[in-house]
Structure 1
Amino acid sequence: MKHHNASTASSDAVTSSNVAVNKKNTPKPVVVHHGNSPDCPDDDCIALFVNGDLLFHEHLWQHFANNPTATDGTAFNFDPLFTNMKPYIQASDISVCEFETPIAPRGGPYAAYPVFNIPPEVVDAAQHAGYNACTHGTNHSWDQGAAGITRLWDALDAAGIKQTGSYKTEEDSVKPLVIDSPTGGGKLGLVTGTVSLNGEVPDQDWRVDRLRESGDPHHDSDIQRAVDKAKAARKQGADVVAMAIHSVQEYLTKADSWQISEAHELADTGAFDVIYGAGCHCAQPIEKYHNTWIVYGLGNAITVTSHIPGHEVNNQGVSARIQFAGKRGKPGSWRVNRIDWVPTANERQGQYQWCPIAGDHPNGVCWDPATDAKQEQRIHDIIYSMGADNNVVREWRLTDEHK
């Protein structure tokens, strides 16, 4: 027994010595920041990737036709359009597209401007690109009536892409969209609204989220509906809420009066952490209004080339990564801490393809070095024309993050 006790005492002494040494030499625990972020300054971050309209005209979709009447998903292959976008989506947490138009049944018939009915294989490509969600509250939402809304809703749902903006049922129309970041950073609420339906009147007002202009008898109720959805999203655990607005004044390099008044009114409610827009088919400024960041116009993500004088801005866009920082599940701790933006072209070397301008991609220039540099500078000047702080709003060079 004594021998056993002596051994035990000796063993305990060694163990105690080792514990003391380990405590002394063990480094401090590494702080883990949840979220796919290059420099999360808080416990958690959500990096939201957004860009402008998926605007498919006939001359665009013809380039990607295999057998347009096929009903098995092989009629078109739009995947090449999104190839260069994938690394930017992968460098974000939640990626949201903007579906400008309804989709046709598999195999057609299709229709282009002014009343769209585009190939449904666009949904397939959006899924393959990695979008988590899509908004579709736009001026073209009612182009094909309730049937068009149903087709788009069902196709996105089947692809596992979350959505909001236009609705099959009234029950769906009042549900807030809440997206849990797949990297664990937090939950995002997403609300939409469009100023116009091109003069069309749906069978039910709830079919499409609206933001009718000041003076319209529905204006106040539209604002309130958006706020109610934002509040409902927070009750369901959303740490931050983004608002996507869709305008109809096209080809402007500055925010129009509706965009400014509507965005400011929404910001004044305190319900939204960021507001961003599409619909103008052009890049527009970024503004900090009081404590709310507003990205007025993201232009087009994917579109046909316009050769109409004055409409060349249609051929460019902006993709942005809006980063929120805070503590998951702790209201009031969240803020926008950076907005990374990359100017984009709708072509690369004469082929339709989303292309980051200024060579920020291994595949090189979009048009040619001189044109790329000119358009990059033009969009840069527009982005900062309303005083955005370049310590927060930064041109996004993905290649720098990978060095």
Structure 2
Amino acid sequence: MLTAGCAPTPSESRTKPGGRTFTVAAAGDVLIHPELVEQAAKDAKRTGKGDAGLDFGPLMAGVQPVISKADMAICHMETPVGKPRGPFEGYPEFLVPPQILTSLKDIGYDTCSTASNHTFDHGLTGVRRTLDTMDRIGLGHAGSARTREEAEKITLREVKGVKVAHLSYSWESFLNPTPQKQGWAFNRISTAEIKKAEARARQQGADVVILSVHWGLEHYNEPSVPQLDLAERITEETGIDLVIGHHAHVVQPIQKLNGTWIAFSLGNQVARHSSPTGLTEEGAIGWFEFRETESGWDVAARYRTTLVDIPPEVEDDEELPEGAVEDLRLVDPRQLLDTPGDLNADRLARYRLALERTRGFLFNRGAPGGDGLAELSLKN
């Protein structure tokens, strides 16, 4: 069972008798740098699993207890995928192993946003291969399209008897802009287009509409002025029920704005930047409980901190320090602090730093007050 900390629950007077409820887990960027591919190759040799010599399962396993419990789990797939045996590419024009998509599905993700500034890194071929792979393994997607007709479709899922629409929009890449004739290949940020998409979703029976948006400035822990302006417009001019942000690669606040929760950036779900800053390894899973009321939906917001553990760099003839991280792993710092086993003091201090720093960034626009943002607790 997953429970919240001390946050208030929706008032009984507002709860609709027999009203529906469901939970949503959402996380930040899935950005597969070359070092993560190397780790997946090492893990495949150990496990004998995976495909074409790559197994991302051990890398991602640390968040499965949270992701798999949600009624609907949403990831953000930042980049196009290549063929199972490569070749693969890192920054600036990513092409990553399709095996990561299978691991995302295996740990419990149901659907992913795919609109980003890297969506068109390898043209329409990359877009098609990515969506074809997601379709084949049963992983939903929103934000990019193989045809003009597909671009007009709304991603709808039934979640515990509730029709949930998922929209996804991004800013355009200035390094590799999409040709005008293929401009439909992914959704660009536009308040007018978001409003039209929401209207189509409602016409198709959507009870709830969730928006994923790729926005903001990289490596800034505060939302930019354009982010704040767009958040105001969305929450004032639309009926969108939840906004999930990414692209900054670091954690930004979660705020209830005009009655709607905005997660400005949940940081990286998994990444290994060439120059790790500490902040780029820290992320958050947003956990949102929807409860039907007489007047609509009441949404309670929770979060769970994540961290990508990175082994220290040593020379070829050196051994890792005793107790050091040995492999790249996406971990749950709270779980490790609650059950530390034989982890050394340095590891535990790093996990405490991740918890405290993430909490500070998430709460930086006042959400823990009357709005009730709280850490998610896992209970057996």
TM range (shorter): 0.7 to 0.9
Farther-moved stretch of structure 1 (190-199 vs 98-107): 190-199
Q: Give the corresponding residue for 1:303.
A: 271
The superposition leaves residues 102-151 of structure 1 with CA deviations (integer Å, 9 ceiling, x where unpaired) of 00122111111111000111111111112110111001001000000000
Correspondence for 1:354 among 330, 336, 354: 330
Q: Give the corresponding residue for 2:240.
A: 272
**Superposition CA RMSD, Å:** 2.4
Alignment of 1:199-210 (within 5 A): 199-203=175-179, 204-210=182-188
Matched residues in 2 for 1:255 and 1:241: separation?
A: 22
Matched residues in 2 for 1:350 and 1:179: separation?
A: 40
Query: Normalising by the residue count of structure 1, what TM-score does the alignment of the two structures yield?
Result: 0.80
Alignment of 1:104 with 2:82, yes or no, is yes
| Amino acid paired to 1:321 | W
Pair 63,342 (structure 1): closer, same or farther in 2 beyond 3 Å = same
The superposition leaves residues 278-322 of structure 1 with CA deviations (integer Å, 9 ceiling, x where unpaired) of 0000011011111111110100111115545xx321111011111
Pair 189,37 (structure 1): closer, same or farther in 2 beyond 3 Å = farther
Q: Give the corresponding residue for 2:174.
A: 198
Q: Name which structure has the greater RCO, CA cutoff 8 Å, separation 6+.
A: 2
State the Cα distance separating 1:363 from its structure 2 match.
Answer: 6.0
Matched residues in 2 for 1:137 and 1:93: separation?
A: 23
Farther-moved stretch of structure 1 (228-237 vs 108-117): 228-237
Q: Who wins on radius of gyration, i.e. which is larger?
A: 1
Q: Give the corresponding residue for 1:292.
A: 260
Q: Give the corresponding residue for 1:389.
A: 368
**Structure 1 stretches lacking a partner, 5+ long:** 1-34, 212-221
Equivalent pair of 2:31/2:79 in contact (CA under 8 Å): yes
Pair 350,283 (structure 1): closer, same or farther in 2 beyond 3 Å = farther
Alignment of 1:325 with 2:259, yes or no, is no
Alignment of 1:80 with 2:58, yes or no, is yes
Alignment of 1:195-234 (within 5 A): 195-203=171-179, 204-211=182-189, 222-234=190-202
Alignment of 1:131-280 (within 5 A): 131-181=109-159, 184-203=160-179, 204-211=182-189, 222-280=190-248
**Structure 2 stretches lacking a partner, 5+ long:** 311-324
Q: Give the corresponding residue for 1:64.
A: 40
Identity of aligned residues (%): 24
Aligned residues: 344
> Does the residue aligned with 1:313 lie in a helix, a strand or coil?
coil
Equivalent pair of 2:33/2:273 in contact (CA under 8 Å): no
> Does the residue aligned with 1:241 lie in a helix, a strand or coil?
strand
Pair 185,321 (structure 1): closer, same or farther in 2 beyond 3 Å = farther
State the Cα distance separating 1:392 from its structure 2 match.
Answer: 2.3
> Does the residue aligned with 2:351 lie in a helix, a strand or coil?
helix
Q: Give the corresponding residue for 1:335.
A: 298
Query: Normalising by the residue count of structure 2, what TM-score does the alignment of the two structures yield?
Result: 0.84
| Amino acid paired to 1:51 | A
Equivalent pair of 2:273/2:280 in contact (CA under 8 Å): yes
State the Cα distance separating 1:352 from its structure 2 match.
Answer: 1.7
Q: Give the corresponding residue for 2:282.
A: 316
State the Cα distance separating 1:199 from its structure 2 match.
Answer: 3.5
Correspondence for 1:47 among 15, 23, 28: 23
Matched residues in 1 for 2:91 and 2:334: separation?
A: 31
Equivalent pair of 1:104/1:117 in contact (CA under 8 Å): yes
Equivalent pair of 1:190/1:230 in contact (CA under 8 Å): no
> Does the residue aligned with 2:335 lie in a helix, a strand or coil?
coil
> Does the residue aligned with 2:279 lie in a helix, a strand or coil?
helix
State the Cα distance separating 1:360 from its structure 2 match.
Answer: 5.6
Runs of 4 or more, structure 1, over 6 Å off, are 35-40
Pair 394,306 (structure 1): closer, same or farther in 2 beyond 3 Å = farther
